[in-house]
A and B are shown apart, each in its own frame.
Chain A
Amino acid sequence: MRETPLTNCEKDFVKKSVAENRRIDGRQPYDTRKAKITFGVDRGSCQVQLGQTRVFAQVSCEVAEPKPSRPSDGILFVNLELSPMACPSFEAGRLSDYGVELNRLLERCLKESRCLDTESLCITTGEKVWSIRVDVHVLNHDGNIIDAASIAAISVLAHFRRPDVTVSGTEITIHPIEERDPVPLSVHHMPLCVTFAFFEQGKYLVVDPTDLEEKVMDGKMVIGMNKHREICTLQITGDIQLEKDQVLRCSNIAVVKVTEMTELIHKALDNDRQVRASGGKFGFAESISIEKVTSNQMKGSEINMEDAEEQASALVLSDQDSETPSDTIEDEETVVHVLNKGVGSIGQGGASQWTIDEEEAEKMQTEVKFKMTRTKSAHKNLPTATDGDLGDNSEEEETIVLGQDMKIISQQERQNSQKMQTKTGDVKMKKGKKYMKK
């Protein structure tokens, strides 16, 4: 799908307003949008909102073989996904140039700055190390994805806990979370990206550009920095030439922004830790109800459906004397005998397989009857519809068609079904054997 094209009018207006030190969302040029960090119920998942831009990050870990060049280092893998949810022009599965650029930038910011102590992820040198994977999904694109992604990635790494491992001799034991407290990753420092957008050949600059500003800008500079004033990555793209003091000025602004943001991350982590320790409620769901207090008016309601136990018994009762006449249920039971062998192997979904199939041949006639009675009862249940209404699209028509087809091929089907039965029988035998081995 295509994005709405940019108009000359919007372009001119953005340029004009930047020249007047104004921005469309009411910010000052050096203001960032309001950031919000929420952690999930599971360790190692978090959502970051930067204005309307929204990203979701998830950490997963597994034991893997180290790279031959670095036998005692764990592996950190960073993946930034531009989900088609975020913007109609993003396509699933295919990485655009923009996607590659952001991915590399984030990877560089996290890996090259060595913010994660990879040596501590080693289990046995040259054989087993932890491989940590960070997936960052962009959910809504309103500019400045990289800043939001870098906040999410580093917060989620700090939030994650990996299972504990003990090594005795050649034996490695990975303790499940229930058994032993999981261990945090050792995060040395928190590199965060700050984006500056430049207009009119670097004459004007704004921090944290929105989508519209990103479309209009001449070029941008991304500074990755930690709170110790160490620059971890720096990238200038676009049609701009900057002077030395411009870069210096930007890095000074970045220091302020990074310090603020690092504080926010620590606060969010602390909050989460406290809530977990005190046994309170946490997770994304809680963040919603908090927002509700701040009267976001488009919020869905939260209802608690604690049905009473009576409903269960009522259910069972209604199950016994359900709407369909009891004799049709018996009908089904006779069908069961034929179906029986296939039942165990009804498996993982996929497309509907309910074409006229092997075993069904024999019981088809009875089932047609069953369906007929059902549709009739449905008619009765509907107070509004007259018989004529449903006739258009009800099952009745379909079932009749099925019935006719069946008569024609039923002979063949019967033979097939016998074959099938023997086949399924075999499968069962095999399954049984497997069970024995276990």
Chain B
Amino acid sequence: MVDHVGTVFLPGDTIHNLNKSEKTGKIIIGPGLRQESETIIVSKPGILRHKEPNIYWIDSHQKKYVPVKGEQVLGVVTAKAGDVFRVDVGGSEQATLSYLSFEGATKRNRPDVKVGDIVFARFLVANKDMEPELVCMDGAGRSSGMGVIGRDRGFMFTCSLNLIRKILSPGCVLLKTLGNGNRFEITVGMNGRVWIHGRSVVDTIMVANAISAAEFMDKDQIRAMCSKLADRFIVVE
């Protein structure tokens, strides 16, 4: 039974008849769902989503970020404390970032990170009972795009977590259409922060506003907005 999928559920609702895996007879439940003995209860308001064959989760609308292991976020360095930097990621606690977890960093060769810098990093530890920890390296010791970004350039703004998931989803046309005929750099953190650098101040502002405006738009509306903006870009030049 998949006909619940796509409908809005509120906390306390019970969901029945979910598809079980044929092999194991199990259901995998994601965020917003919890199990209480034999029943599955919704704990967050949102739309039920399904992924074949047996994965279910609730797509909720939220502003506040809760760290998740493996997610890439944009953090703000708030302090240097001995061997680690303290980084604000928008969660309930500040994350730590060791100065050794940058590409090529050694005890002698410290990375150049200042208080107030933006770092793009991945969660190594994210657990409700432990202090979250960030790294700016992948498993092979490479930066793969992470590290300090946007020093002296660009602009960072915040939006809802929903919008972040929307613009990062493969089906979303926003970034592709915005990128037509207009060059800009963008970094999107799962914690609801977006960093943008356009060719000029006006471009940057315009892209930032376009992204925030896309929150409640569907594909066609986004296309219409982008084509309108494209005219503006030319005018500015």
Contact call A22/B205, Cβ cutoff below 8 A: yes
Known contacts A17-B205, A22-B202; is-contact A9 B151 (Cβ 8 Å) = yes
Interface residues of A in 1-31 (CB under 8 A from B): 2, 4-13, 16-17, 20, 22, 24, 26
Contact residues of B between 136 and 185, Cβ < 8 Å to A: 150-156, 158
CB nearest neighbor in B for A2: B88
Q: Which residues of A374-388 have CB atoms within 8 Å of chain B's CB atoms?
A: 384-386, 388
Tell which of A7, A385, A392 has the most Cβ of chain B within 10 Å.
Answer: A7
Q: B76 an interface residue at 8 Å Cβ cutoff?
A: yes
Taking a contact as CB atoms closer than 8 A, the residue among B16, B118, B208, B209 that contacts A7 in the complex is B118
B158 touches A389 (CB 8 A): no
List which B105-159 residues lie within 8 A (CB) of chain A: 114, 116-118, 150-156, 158
A5 touches B39 (CB 8 A): no
Closest-by-CB residue of B relative to A24 is B205
User: What is the distance, in angstroms, from A30's C-beta to the closest C-beta of chain B?
Assistant: 18
Given A297-B216, A384-B39, A385-B39, CB of A8 within 8 Å of CB of B209: no
Chain B residues with CB under 8 Å of chain A are: 14, 16, 36-39, 76, 78, 88, 90, 114, 116-118, 150-156, 158, 195, 201-202, 204-205, 208-209, 216
Chain A residues in contact with chain B, CB under 8 A? 2, 4-13, 16-17, 20, 22, 24, 26, 297-298, 384-386, 388-389, 392
Cβ-defined partner of A5 (8 Å) among B78, B114, B150, B205 = B78
Instruction: Kindly report which residue of chain A lies nearest to residue B155, judged by CB atoms.
Output: A13
In the complex the two chains form, is A9's CB within 8 Å of B38's CB?
no
Q: Hey, which chain B residues are within 8 Å of A384, CB to CB?
A: 14, 16, 39
Bound CA–CA A11/B150 (angstroms): 12
Q: How far is the CB of A13 from chain B (nearest CB, A)?
A: 4
Q: Write 26 A-B pairs (CB below 8 A) sorted by A numbering.
A: A4-B88, A4-B158, A7-B116, A7-B117, A7-B118, A7-B156, A9-B117, A9-B151, A9-B153, A9-B195, A10-B156, A12-B153, A13-B204, A17-B205, A22-B205, A24-B155, A26-B205, A298-B216, A384-B39, A385-B38, A388-B38, A389-B36, A389-B37, A389-B38, A392-B36, A392-B37
Identity of the chain B residue whose Cβ is nearest the Cβ of A23 in the assembled complex: B205
A298 (CB) vs chain B CBs: closest residue: B216
Contacts A13-B201, A388-B37; A8 near B116 (Cβ below 8 A): yes
Q: A7 to B150, alpha carbons, bound, how many Å?
A: 10
Q: In the complex, what's the smallest C-beta–C-beta distance from A292 to chain B, in angstroms?
A: 14
Within 8 Å CB of B216, what residues of A?
297-298
Nearest neighbor of A14 in chain B, beta-carbon distance = B155
**A5 and B216 alpha carbons, distance in the complex (Å):** 28
Query: Do A9 and B88 contact each other (CB < 8 Å), given the known contacts A389-B36, A389-B39?
Result: no
Chain B residues in 8 Å Cβ range of A16 = 201
Q: Report the bound CA distance from A16 to B204 in whole Å.
A: 12
**Bound CA span A6–B118, Å:** 10
Q: Shortest Cβ distance from A231 into chain B, in angstroms?
A: 34
Contacts of A392 in B (CB 8 A): 36-37
Minimum distance in angstroms from B225 CB to a CB of chain A: 14
- B39, A24: Cβ atoms closer than 8 Å: no
Kindly report which residue of chain A lies nearest to residue B154, judged by CB atoms. A9
Note all chain B residues with C-beta closer than 8 A to A13. 154-155, 201, 204
Hey, which chain A residues are within 8 Å of B158, CB to CB? 4
Residues of A within 8 A of B88 (CB): 2, 4-5
Interchain residue pairs A-B with the least CB separation, the first 8: A8-B116, A13-B155, A389-B37, A297-B216, A9-B150, A17-B201, A5-B76, A7-B76
Which residue on chain A has the smallest CB distance to residue B14?
Answer: A384
Q: Beyond the given A7-B156, A9-B195, please list 12 additional residue pairs across the A-B interface where CB-CB is below 8 A.
A: A4-B76, A4-B88, A7-B117, A7-B118, A8-B151, A9-B152, A13-B201, A22-B202, A22-B205, A384-B39, A385-B38, A389-B37
Query: Are the CB atoms of B152 and A12 closer together than 8 Å?
Result: yes
- Can you name the residue of chain A whose Cβ is closest to the Cβ of B89? A4
Considering the chains assembled together, what is the distance between the CA atoms of A6 and B39 in angstroms?
45
Asked if B36 and A6 make an inter-chain contact with CB atoms under 8 angstroms apart, the answer reads no
How many angstroms between the C-alpha atoms of A388 and B39 in the bound complex? 11
Residue of A nearest to B78 (CB): A5
Most chain B CB within 10 A, of A10, A12, A386, A392, is at: A10
